[in-house]
Amino acid sequence: MSDQQHYQQYGGQPYDGQQFDDRQYQQQAYGDQAYGEQQAYGEQSFAEPQHPQQYDGQQFAGQQRGFDEPQQQYGGGAPEAAPQYGRSSRMSESSLRVVWVYPDLLSTYGDRGNALVVERRAQQRGLGVQRIDVRSDQSVPTSGDIYLIGGGEDRPQRLAAERLRNDGGLVRAAENGAIIFSVCAGFQILGHEFINDLGEREAGLGLLDVWTTRGEGARCVGDVLAEVNPQLSLPQLTGFENHQGITHLGEGVKPLATVQVGRGNGTGDGTEGAWRDTVFGTYLHGPVMARNPAVADLLIKLALDVNALPPADTTWYDALRTERIASAARPA
Amino acid sequence: MPGTDSEAARDASLPARAKIAVTAGKMAAALSQKAGRGSGSVIGGKVALKLDPDLLKTLAEHLDVVLVSATNGKTTTTRLIAEALRAAGPVVSNALGANMPAGITAALAGGTDARFGVIEVDEKYLPMVARDTRPKAIALLNLSRDQLDRAAETRMMAEKWREGLKDTEAVIIANADDPLVTWAASSCKKVVWVAAGQAWKEDAWSCPSCGGVMQRPGDDWFCGECGFRRPNPHWALQGTHVIDPHRGAWPIQLQLPGRANLANATSSAAVAAVFGVAPQVALQRMQAVAAVAGRYDVVQFRGRDIRLLLAKNPAGWLETFSLIDGPPAPVILSVNAMDADGTDTSWLWDVDYERLAGHPIFVMGQRKLDLAVRLEVAGLQFQVVDSLSQAVDAAPEGRIEAIANYTAFQQLRKAVVA
């Protein structure tokens, strides 16, 4: 038997061009619960669009225009129509588009958890979610609402930076005001540069005014507790860090938080992560959203452009937070 | 088991330094055992290696050595290979999973007139142990993420294997369905490729050779950029049969459950064949294995049957979910985060707990709250409990599947005999 036949017999099917992404799926458009039955949201009034517009594949920029224009007051739509939060223009029309960037390269530390928690927290508020997992040989769509980019090993990090620079999609999305949340290796990629697996300086995307050097001392590994910048109105952060890089912050960003336990950016000044406008970076794993669901809620609020969301159960998150915060605060 | 006749005969043939080291090691082990600190094999091995750093080499010289390494399945496969090779001669093995140099040295020092040394090796130590023991065969099963806070990155591990094994004279028995293992093995002179399958694919989306994006149509895989691709296998697991290089199909009848163990049996049959043991003989002998270091053991506790299953990382959990009884079988999940488990629990989010929908689920262990959040986000119903007794008493009828990570598993084993 020839090698080829041999090979075929052992299950080699002809390549059918199918993408790997079996996790890419579209959630049902909206929850079953009618929106009017829920309590009102902060100052934002809840209204439904008369003509829910379907996503037409246009770039985000077109829709983004409406963001700063006077808000149209929608009348009560048909009962079946998809409910819409307050000023909806930031959000793609029919559902929240959560783009998970490069799970094939940057998903080493349970980073899928951040996508799952954002999805879950949005669904608990009756929002439809469309999660788009973008593999590194696909182009990053520019029309997402929330972009998540996770942690990874040194070599995949270099490959991810190369491909994101060449693709340009994430940079265009950022220029359009997209919400971007990055963790660890992803955080470093959003900065100006980092040290790659070959020991060379590798250009990042420059979306955050930070740059990363390689720490000479021991790797930063362990639990972290940090107080968040008060402007963000978030409770204390808990997470797990594991990195060699030292990230320096420039004038164009603020520290996301100040560490109480742990190393954070590793610069010795107590800063953890960085942030400007709607672009965030952190070193916290855990995953960070699982330990801090308020972070997921913040991203959803930014996407909807509302100040508050209806409450959603946090019993288990709270129990976990209490335990992890106590454990980290306990002297070793 | 100190002091058997054949052991004395073997020890007498050792060089003086090795003899002293073996004796001192045994004394240390006996002391440790008396002090109630476990079997003492690791401390014994440490003492012996300190006295004679070449002891492992010396002990291995008399043996046909087989090394087994992987992220998952190495203890079970070591056991299956040991059973199979007993058809051809006596075997010494580190059957209890002490898989670093000290534990391996202790196991071999306890060996008697064995012809074969079948040795499980921790991934990190494989190149070193391969250099010291001059193995005839090395089985490489899989590589995937494990213990994020301290383990080396998977591709770096594959590179260590690739560098460390490239000059070995051993026959490499390697899983052709795992791109990282394939890359590690493909620099070796003699490789037997086994299509043993790979359920967990999340660590092999980028080409270990060039970094290109891996294409994975069906069971095949290849790099679209550099052409690195799945080699043609000599052996394969097809359904519940081993296909040998002559196209013979041999039914696998194991007491051990699950696809992963069918894969382990296939690799074991390929190893046995290197030493002239025919697949049908090898497979028949593997059938005798019912549990490995307590794994897969069905125990009685508080009047209930509980099957104890070990799952240490995402790949392991995935394989475990595929072998448990379907709903409404009750499931107990226990997760710890001690040093031996890895202290970062982020990996829980790589596990598809969604697969447990329909099972009554009980959650325990040191990190039960991490699990609770994970299951809540998966949209599952579950109950958080403080102890195995509480979980068992609350569980509806049926055999209970208890899945735990490393130290949580040891605790379950202790709890059921208490």
Domains of chain B in sequence order: 50-286 (3.40.1190.10), 298-417 (3.90.190.20)
Q: Which positions in chain B touch A137 (Cβ < 8 Å)? A: 213, 224
Q: Which amino acid is at B28?
A: A
Measured distance CA(B81)–CA(B78) in Å, rounded: 5
Walk across the sheet containing A220-228 and list its strands.
Answer: A237-243, A220-228, A257-261, A271-272
Q: What is the pLDDT of residue A4?
A: 39
Residues with Cβ < 8 Å from A190, sequence gap 6 or more? A149, A180, A182, A204, A205, A207, A208, A210, A279, A281
**Residue of A159, A316, A323, A325 to mutate for B, most B C-beta atoms under 10 A:** A316
Q: What integer pLDDT is reported at residue A13 of this predicted model?
A: 35
ipTM of model over 0.95: no
- What is the phi/psi pair of residue A78, to 5°? -65, 150
Nearest to B195 by CA among B255, B256, B262: B262
Average pLDDT, chain B: 91
Region A124-149: mean pLDDT is 96
In B347-367, which positions are buried (b, 16+ CB within 10 angstroms) versus exposed (e)? Answer: bbbbbebebbeebbbbbbbbb
pLDDT band at B35 (very low <50, low <70, confident <90, very high): low
Cα→Cα distances B183→B150, B162, B163, B178, B221, Å: 23, 7, 11, 9, 12
B207-224 confidence digits (pLDDT tens): 999 999 999 999 999 998
CA distance linking residue A95 with residue A83, whole number of Å: 10
Q: What is the mean pLDDT of residues A86-98?
A: 65
In Å, what is the CA distance from B201 to each residue of A1, B178, B243? 30, 8, 23
pLDDT for res B45: 76
pLDDT at A93: 56
Residue of A111, A153, A286 with shortest CB distance to B153: A153
Q: What is the C-alpha to C-alpha distance for residues A182 and A258, in angstroms, rounded to an integer? A: 17
Q: What is the pLDDT of residue A14?
A: 32
Residues of B in contact with A105 (CB under 8 A): 205-206
Candidates B145, B159, B373, partner chain A, best to mutate (most A CBs within 10 A): B373
| Whole-number pLDDT of residue A332 | 58
| Residue at token pair 């620099």 | B187
| CA dihedral over A170, A172, A175, A177, signed as positive or negative | negative
SS3 per-residue string spanning B287-315 = CCCCCECCECCEEEECCEEEEEEECCCHH
DSSP E strands: which ranges in B79-120?
A: 91-93, 116-120
CA distance A60 to chain B (A): 27
CB within 8 Å: B205 and A105: yes
Contact A287 B349 (CB under 8 A): yes
Pick the catalytic residue from A51, A184, A243, A248: A184
pLDDT higher than 60, residue A178:
yes
Beta strands B190-195; B171-175: pairing state = parallel
Whether A5 has a pLDDT exceeding 70, the answer reads no
Name chain A contacts of B205, Cβ cutoff 8 Å: 20, 104-105, 135
Check if A175 contacts B (Cβ < 8 Å): no
What's the residue count for chain B?
418
Model pLDDT for residues B350-403, shown as the tens digit of each residue: 999 999 999 999 999 999 999 999 999 999 999 999 999 999 999 999 999 999
The answer to whether B377 and A290 are in contact (CB under 8 A) is yes
Confidence of residue B8 (pLDDT cuts 50, 70, 90): low
Structure token pair of residue A220: 């930063």
Strand partners, B118: B66, B93
Whole-Å CA distances, A220 to A113, A202, B293: 22, 21, 35
pLDDT for A100: 98
**Residue-level pLDDT at B208:** 94
Please write the tens of the pLDDT for every residue from B133-187. 999 999 999 999 987 766 668 899 999 999 999 999 999 999 999 999 999 999 9
Which segment of A99-103, A191-195, A297-301, B213-217 scores lowest on mean pLDDT?
Answer: B213-217
B265 within 8 A of B80, measured Cβ to Cβ? yes
From the candidates A192, A220, A243, A285, give the one annotated as an active-site residue: A285
Report CA-CA distances (Å) from B81 to A253, B125, B130, B198, B286: 58, 20, 17, 20, 8
Interface contacts (A, B; CB < 8 Å): 125
DSSP state of B229: B
Give CA B6 to chain center in angstroms. 30
Taking CB atoms and an 8 Å limit, are A109 and B344 in contact across chains?
yes
Question: Nearest CA of chain A to the CA of B249: how many Å?
Answer: 13
Q: Are A256 and A292 in contact (CB under 8 A)?
A: no
Contact B350 A112 (CB under 8 A): yes
Cβ–Cβ < 8 Å for B100, B129: no
- Specify the range with the lowest mean pLDDT, choosing from A1-10, A54-63, A269-278: A54-63
In the annotation, is A184 catalytic?
A: yes
More confident position, A216 or B306:
B306
A90-329 falls under which CATH superfamily?
Class I glutamine amidotransferase (GATase) domain (3.40.50.880)
Is A243 assigned a catalytic role?
Answer: no
Quote the tokens at residue B60: 């291995």
Paired strand residues for A240: A223, A285
Contact A108 B145 (CB under 8 A): yes
Residue spans of the domains in chain A: they are: 90-329
Task: Determine the distance in angstroms separating the CA of B150 from the nearest CA of chain A, rounded to an integer.
Answer: 9
The interface residues of chain A toward chain B in range 280-299, judged by CB-CB distance below 8 A, are 285-287, 290
